[in-house]
């Protein structure tokens, strides 16, 4: 089971859109996919569920917030399996397309933001040893939780919020790989560098603590799978020159940049959130939209090759 986080500190760069389409295309290619929505904005959750469906999940305590709540309120380890739900619409579509793959989801909650703040107050202790042990326990929660479903899925896609709070760090610690969607603009290079540095520092700290706590903690190696440029404006079959400069700059910095870009198209992507089935599975597309769907498929080809999926 490969675990892949989709992450960037910057908001609105296409993390959720990429997560939904990547998960859907991998499912179409006969993989059993689990999506974990860790963003309190819950956009990914709402791209698969309607509001009343989510309200039922909330009433049934089936969101990631309830899982962290069990830990915070009762120091109880609720099974992650209790949260997993199967969105009908996309899975019916997959069946209709003769795929044997599937999509399950662990939904997010708008109040996850409070959970993050409360988790921060739990981290600490009076001695180096208690600080280390509370850090390892808190930051490895998602990693441990996902061990329960190790044999149930081929791939887990984790959609991260635009921050590096404790829940986001849980995602990185749980992940084998991470993907960085980025817009080709001036802040990209700086933002990507900063993100990678923070992830590297977290890895060093975690492994250092794991070392000094003895053999029971597994080391982590979250590895960058690459940068995917999103919302790219194409002219004459290539990104417009200002965007090309930023893409080249990121490549020169040594990051693996995906060959294929996610093109800018508000009409196509804006309708997906309340649609229930992501663009990549929309078989009725024509003309330019068909080209964009093909680009999404090419991106998934690259992910599969790079991730060994």
Binding site for ligand ATP (CB under 6 A): 11-17, 39, 41, 43, 162, 230-231, 262-266, 269-270
Of residues 210 and 280, the one with the C-beta less far from ligand ATP? 280
| 29: DSSP letter | T
Query: Helices in the chain by DSSP H: which ranges?
Result: 15-28, 43-46, 51-59, 64-74, 88-96, 112-122, 128-139, 141-147, 166-174, 186-212, 241-252, 266-270, 287-307
| 233: DSSP letter | P
- Among Mg ion, ligand ATP, none, what binds residue 93 when CB lies within 5 to 8 Å by partner kind? none
Of residues 234 and 307, the one with the C-beta less far from ligand ATP? 234
Find residue 238's DSSP bridge partners: 235
Of residues 17 and 170, the one with the C-beta less far from ligand ATP? 17
Nearest distance from residue 39's CB to Mg ion, in Å?
Answer: 5
- Among Mg ion, ligand ATP, none, what binds residue 264 when CB lies within 5 to 8 Å by partner kind? ligand ATP
Question: How far is it, in rounded angstroms, from Cα 281 to Cα 175?
Answer: 26
Nearest distance from residue 67's CB to ligand ATP, in Å?
Answer: 20
Nearest distance from residue 59's CB to ligand ATP, in Å?
Answer: 25
Of residues 16 and 265, the one with the C-beta less far from Mg ion? 16
Q: Tokens standing for 25?
A: 């295309």
| 1, burial (CB in 10 Å: exposed 0-12, middle 13-18, buried 19+) | middle
Nearest distance from residue 38's CB to ligand ATP, in Å?
Answer: 10
- Among Mg ion, ligand ATP, none, what binds residue 47 when CB lies within 5 to 8 Å by partner kind? none
| 112, burial (CB in 10 Å: exposed 0-12, middle 13-18, buried 19+) | buried
Give the number of residues in contact with Mg ion, rule: CB under 5 A.
4
Binding flag, residue 15, Mg ion (CB under 5 A): yes
Identify which range of 34-42, 83-91, 149-157, 277-285 contacts Mg ion by CB under 5 A: 34-42
Nearest distance from residue 216's CB to Mg ion, in Å?
Answer: 34
Other beta carbons within 10 angstroms of residue 17's beta carbon come to 26
Of residues 117 and 270, the one with the C-beta less far from ligand ATP? 270
3-state secondary structure of 85: strand
Of residues 16 and 102, the one with the C-beta less far from Mg ion? 16
Nearest distance from residue 144's CB to ligand ATP, in Å?
Answer: 25
Nearest distance from residue 199's CB to ligand ATP, in Å?
Answer: 17
Nearest distance from residue 232's CB to ligand ATP, in Å?
Answer: 8
Binding flag, residue 272, Mg ion (CB under 5 A): no
Q: Tokens standing for 65?
A: 């917030």
Question: How far is it, in rounded angstroms, from Cα 92 to Cα 101?
Answer: 11
| 207: DSSP letter | H
Please select the residue that binds Mg ion; options are 5, 8, 16, 102, rule is CB under 5 A. 16
Q: What does residue 205 show for φ and ψ, rounded to 5 degrees?
A: -65, -45
Q: Are 105 and 62 in contact (CB under 8 A)?
A: no
Of residues 156 and 210, the one with the C-beta less far from ligand ATP? 156
> Which residues of the chain form contacts with Mg ion (CB under 5 A)?
15-16, 39, 43
């Amino acid at each position: 089971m490969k675990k892949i986080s989709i992450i960037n500190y910057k908001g609105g760069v296409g993390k959720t859109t990429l997560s939904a389409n990547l998960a859907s295309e991998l499912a179409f290619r006969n993989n059993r996919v689990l999506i974990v929505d860790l963003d309190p904005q819950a956009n990914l959750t709402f791209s698969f569920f309607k509001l009343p469906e989510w309200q039922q999940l909330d009433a049934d305590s089936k969101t990631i917030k309830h899982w962290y709540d069990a830990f915070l309120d009762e120091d109880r380890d609720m099974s992650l399996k209790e949260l997993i739900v199967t969105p009908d619409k996309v899975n019916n579509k997959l069946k209709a397309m003769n795929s044997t793959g599937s999509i399950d989801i662990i939904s997010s909650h708008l109040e996850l933001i409070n959970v993050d703040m409360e988790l921060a107050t739990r981290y600490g202790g009076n001695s180096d040893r208690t600080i280390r042990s509370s850090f390892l326990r808190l930051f490895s929660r998602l990693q441990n939780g996902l061990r329960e479903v190790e044999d149930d899925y081929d791939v887990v896609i984790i959609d991260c919020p635009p921050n590096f709070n404790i829940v986001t760090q849980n995602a990185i610690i749980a992940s084998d790989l991470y993907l960085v969607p980025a817009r080709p603009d001036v802040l990209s290079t700086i933002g990507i560098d900063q993100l990678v540095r923070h992830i590297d520092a977290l890895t060093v700290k975690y492994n250092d603590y794991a070392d000094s706590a003895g053999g029971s903690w597994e080391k982590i190696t979250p590895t960058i799978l690459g940068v995917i440029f999103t919302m790219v404006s194409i002219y004459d079959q290539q990104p417009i020159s200002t965007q090309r400069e930023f893409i080249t700059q990121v490549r020169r910095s040594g990051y693996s940049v995906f060959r294929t870009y996610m093109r800018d198209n508000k009409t196509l992507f804006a309708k997906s959130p309340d649609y229930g089935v992501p663009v990549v599975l929309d078989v009725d597309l024509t003309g330019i939209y068909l080209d964009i769907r093909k680009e999404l498929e090419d991106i998934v080809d690259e992910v599969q090759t790079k991730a060994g999926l």
